[in-house]
Structure 1
């Protein structure tokens, strides 16, 4: 290889020299370094935390519950009308939606946002749920609480029990609508868990995704028209829930959900200067930077057993997905535990073991039932001895 040597002289005695080959090698190293630096920079920009005005906020994946963004997520705050997410799901789970519910004087005269119930007015529970979650009726909340729980106080106990059940451990509800009450507090994390639970109910999900609803108005020649307080339902093609809230103590709050390419995210912003912008910022951040990866498919063959000289397949009873930042990967460890007391016959779909899935930090991600993929009958010799045993039992 030929190396060119150049020598320069400047103003008499000052001179310097360099090899062209050395320059080329240096430039090559520089370009490699620059490419690597830009790659890192681009990834840093892609995953840079979004800026929101909310004092507390969270973004989670609805299916897995993974946290994709967090800001003061365990800070206890007044939730305002986001409280009604819990009220709504309890009404759906504990009542018959066709039931007729009569509003008490207490319910009719509850202050704040209202669907204008009158004392002794009767609506179906279904209509009250729409009034609760779409128009954010405080009167509808009290009517539901009294009907389902017997009283506001007893219904609040139901709310708190359900909160513990779904993992909202820092939440205390004192009423069904979120009007200011000392000690009525929750967190962004807890609201995300409550919303995640509620959105698994198809009717709840349908109601909170409805921009406008007509319900009856007894005593009037026209119906009530309920316009959803969640303006994102008409401002975005992907938003499909959930609930707004506002009091002076809580500030402006919004629990929002959105679905894109069969991937649903839930955001919560509390005491925000702009709930619409903050929520869309979080949701778009999630969709732009994260992807859902299927780790185990429902019905996937996971293990084989030798039963009665035949192979029995064990399949996953449900699917397992995981959310990753785009361009990244995860190492999954799978641990299979098989029951020790398996006996014939085996029914198709019988649970015979567990599949535990761990991440690279040995944290448990999920545990999936392993079920038989076919029926396995008893052996002829076992059937013979069982028949003999049953005959003998007749005489004792």
Structure 2
């Protein structure tokens, strides 16, 4: 009699587990309702988890700054060298703002890299290119050589900040960019950091910066590397290496309408892969 009860209980457990697995499989195979125009999600073995318009070439805005950082670090330029923001670093294309005052703000090259990557400061990115051996033009040439060497055949760069809409790529190439950038400890450190305080002025006035990707400050997320971007032509963009449901993933969201859409897509992706109800939001 006990054997029959145990057998019945085992059968019920098997049915329950099978049903749960079926529900999870159905949830993951469904539509995650991602809103970005181009999306690519790959696991660390390079297997495709999700894709939408992944080869559509688009402006990539400040995603550019990951390449900027790699070129700076590849150059071997001293990271402790102090650089003063100059008139040449002013954005005359879009008149974007910066709290790094021209002729006054001085930071080390390492600090400029941190500010460029974490808070996407355009003057910092311009200063890094300007102080490269041979100047800004040679720096941009080095960015394009690096892209070609990495096999990013459909990617082109025109400046170090991403303000120029001729900086163009697609999601497949940008996964290559994520994977290359992740090999640099400083890039991982900077892009996964939530906040940073620097002291660029002679009077010791601090400047506090926050990461433009709010997910790095969210305790429910594990973000190893990330970069956001926005110009009108590119829409809102986000690339990152993260862990979801025990899987390390490289994620690209491009050309989203709405500032919060890439964050919403990240949460929708997480819900989908975790087998839970897809969350609402933009």
Q: Same fold (TM over 0.5)?
A: yes
Aligned to 1:219: 202
Structure richer in strand, relative to its length: 1
Secondary structure at the counterpart of residue 66 of structure 2 = helix
CA distance in 2, matches of 1:287, 1:45: 9
User: 2:71 touches 2:139 (CA, 8 Å); kept in 1?
Assistant: no
Structure 1's unaligned 5+ residue stretches are: 1-35, 290-396
Q: How does 1:96-107 map to 2 (within 5 A)?
A: 96-107=78-89
Q: Which runs of 5+ in 2 are unaligned?
A: 1-17, 277-282
Aligned residues: 253
Alignment partner of 2:63 out of 53, 63, 82: 82
Equivalent-residue separation in structure 2 for 1:201 and 1:139 (angstroms): 22
Q: CA deviation at 1:268?
A: 1.0
**Distance (whole Å) between structure 2 residues aligned to residue 58 and residue 202 of structure 1:** 24
**Aligned position for 1:143:** 127
207-216 vs 275-284, which deviates more?
275-284
Change (3 A) 1:49 1:116: same
Q: Distance in 2 between matches of 1:68 and 1:44?
A: 15
Task: Return the alpha-carbon distance in structure 2 between the equivalents of residues 143 and 120 of structure 1.
Answer: 13
Name the residue aligned to 2:263. 276
- RMSD across aligned positions (CA): 2.7
- Residue in 2 that maps onto 1:160: 144
Contact 2:24 2:275 in 1 (8 A): no
Q: What stretches of structure 1 move > 4 A for 4+ residues in a row?
A: 36-42, 260-263, 283-289
Shift of the alpha carbon at 1:240?
3.5
Query: Which of 27, 50, 61 pairs up with 1:45?
Result: 27
Contact 2:85–2:100, Cα closer than 8 Å, also in 1: no
In the alignment, which residue of structure 2 is the partner of 1:332?
none
In 1, the alpha carbon distance for the partners of 2:201 and 2:24 equals: 60
* Partner SS, residue 214 of structure 1: strand
SS in 2 for 1:54: coil
Residue 242 of structure 2 aligns with which residue? 258
Q: CA deviation at 1:265?
A: 1.4
Moved more, 225-234 or 256-265: 256-265
- In the aligned structure 2, how far is the partner of 1:45 from the partner of 1:252? 27
Structure 1 residue corresponding to 2:170, chosen from 184, 187, 211 = 187
Match of 2:182 in 1: 199
Larger-gyration structure (1/2): 1
TM-score (norm 2): 0.80
Q: Distance in 2 between matches of 1:50 and 1:198?
A: 27
Higher helix share: 2
Q: Is 2:155 the partner of 1:171? A: yes
Cα distance in 2 for residues equivalent to 1:113 and 1:280: 30
What is the CA–CA distance in structure 2 between the aligned matches of 1:39 and 1:284, rounded to whole Å? 16
Larger RCO: 1 or 2 (CA < 8 Å, sep 6+)? 2
